[in-house]
Amino acid sequence: MRDPDPLAETLARAVAGLAGRRSLLVVDVGPASVVVWEIQRDEHGLPRARMRATADLSGAPDVFLGGSARRFEGTTMVLVNTTGDTTGDTTGDTAGDPSPAARVFDLLGKAWPQATTISRPGTSVPDVLREVISEEPLTVEHSLVTVHADRSGRLSLRSLPLFPAGARRGDVTRFSVRCHSADPRGTVFAMVTWTSGRPHLLSVDSARLGVGRHEITAELTRPGRVRFRGAAGFTTDERSWPELLDALPSALPPVTSHLVCAVEVSGSQERVIARLDRLEAVIKAAASTAPSISVVSYGSHAFERRIQPSPVTVLNWRASPDAALSTVESLRVQGPRHPGYPFAAAIECALHEVTGRLEAGADELSALLMIGGRPAHPPRVSTTEILPCPERIDWRREAALLPVLARVAICDSEADAADPIWSVLGGDRLTRLDEPDLTGILQAAALDSPTPYIPFPLTEGD
């Protein structure tokens, strides 16, 4: 174990005592010159050292004790003799022939009685200062810049505290973040301090991390500097703070997290299978972006006692894409339901069921895909001559109440030939069964939106 370094201990105490804009001057009297180092705390509360003045030994008395000497008055000072030479007498009665460095050191010591004097032959004052500053405990918390998305998708800057005041070099912390986009520019890990309610940038590193959750390790290498380690390598990022802020969008585009699929399973074998084929294609295409999918089947109302009704059936609700695909295959094996009433289908009842279920889980963004061809039943006797819904459900009211981000539909007929209800059900995108526009369906349902670049990570749980 090394013996304590008196100079390092002296400087550590002096640096710890700095507050506000107060300065510490360290005067290094060497064999050939005198160098003055000034230490002040910056806007982060971190001590920073800079060379304040320098002079050779012969000119040092004039430089430091002449007309400009007042600039050093009232300042905390440490006077260091790094030559080891002394006058042999600090009272003024010199013995022998002291060296120039010894004479200057003695002269400055008498001129600056407030200074702490110390002799450390052969010591590098810059090295000691660097070590002292690196070892100082933090006086201000160091935080990582993150992004928070609220329920509307609006983005705002947040911060994740990594190293509290009092943390020291070598301290390590581990945390989880989510990356929203995989971009060649990388995810930015910007460290800041907060003063007066505003962030002040300390350092900027970045890494090319994939989309998703990542475990990151952070090590405090010195006050103001953090080293990150993760699945990818981190490098210094030269982008400025304004550049990073300009790259941050104000909000995320709406993204559907729940796709509700309602498919008509009454009709001819060929027609029902074609609808199920289209449903399967949509589910497969949306599987990477829609984490939950619901499958609802509906058929025709039965108005004859001997015919059992084909009720609306919720086959899956907020299931995985794989589970939804299994359900579609089961429907394909079962084949069409009894055709029942030939002129309409229970669309209004399907909408009623979906609306009720979506209102109970309104926290997620949903889209509705309807696949079929027949019109809905009116709620009461009307001029259409279609029998009214036995439950007197009004499809227009149910459609107006649907809490969905988008309505898309695949209709058996051309839009011009289809019943007007299909223009409502496919309000964001209506396509034909025999020539479906899957890309248009996905884009309209916000299942194929381009992922914007978000430079900062999202904290786990946002």
Instruction: Please give the pLDDT value at position 226.
Output: 96
Is residue 462 scored above 80 in pLDDT? no
Distances (CA, A) of 79 to 24, 54, 119, 409: 11, 14, 8, 83
Q: Mean per-residue pLDDT for 86-96?
A: 48
Instruction: Please give the pLDDT value at position 14.
Output: 92
Mean pLDDT lowest among 18-22, 147-151, 362-366, 420-424 = 362-366
Cα–Cα distance measured from residue 17 to residue 410, given in angstroms and rounded to the nearest whole number: 74
The pTM for the full model equals 0.61
Instruction: Please give the pLDDT value at position 12.
Output: 92
Helix count and strand count (H, E) for the chain: 11, 20
Instruction: Please give the pLDDT value at position 307.
Output: 59
| DSSP 8-class letter at 250 | S
- Per-residue pLDDT tens digits for 395-434: 999 999 998 889 999 999 876 778 889 999 999 999 999 8
Cα–Cα distance measured from residue 228 to residue 368, given in angstroms and rounded to the nearest whole number: 43
Q: Mean per-residue pLDDT for 91-111?
A: 73
pLDDT band at 309 (very low <50, low <70, confident <90, very high): low
Cα–Cα distance measured from residue 328 to residue 319, given in angstroms and rounded to the nearest whole number: 12
Mean pLDDT over the full length of the chain: 87
Signed CA dihedral, 277, 278, 279, 281: sign only: positive
Q: Mean per-residue pLDDT for 219-232?
A: 92
Instruction: Please give the pLDDT value at position 362.
Output: 57
Distances (CA, A) of 354 to 95, 281, 312, 389: 102, 22, 10, 17
Mean pLDDT lowest among 65-79, 87-101, 188-202, 217-231 = 87-101
Is residue 230 scored above 70 in pLDDT? yes
- Per-residue pLDDT tens digits for 164-208: 999 999 999 999 998 887 788 899 999 999 877 788 899 999 999
Angle at 68 between CA 64 and CA 73, to 5 degrees: 75
- In the chain the first and final C-alpha atoms are separated, in Å, by 47
Instruction: Please give the pLDDT value at position 308.
Output: 59
Instruction: Please give the pLDDT value at position 415.
Output: 67
Query: Which tokens belong to 52?
Result: 């304040």
Q: Give the residue with greater pLDDT, 86 vs 242.
A: 242
Q: Mean per-residue pLDDT for 250-267?
A: 87
- Ordered by where they begin, the domains of the chain are 6-135 (3.30.420), 142-252+455-459 (no CATH), 258-444 (3.40.50.410)
Is residue 95 scored above 60 in pLDDT? no
Instruction: Please give the pLDDT value at position 1.
Output: 46
- Per-residue pLDDT tens digits for 44-78: 888 999 998 888 988 888 777 765 555 666 678 99
pLDDT band at 92 (very low <50, low <70, confident <90, very high): very low
Going by C-beta distance under 8 Å and a sequence separation of 6 or more, which residues neighbour residue 304? none
Mean pLDDT lowest among 118-127, 193-202, 237-246, 426-435 = 193-202
Angle at 75 between CA 71 and CA 79, to 5 degrees: 100
- Per-residue pLDDT tens digits for 339-371: 778 899 999 999 999 999 987 655 568 899 999
Instruction: Please give the pLDDT value at position 21.
Output: 80
- Per-residue pLDDT tens digits for 446-461: 776 667 889 999 875 5
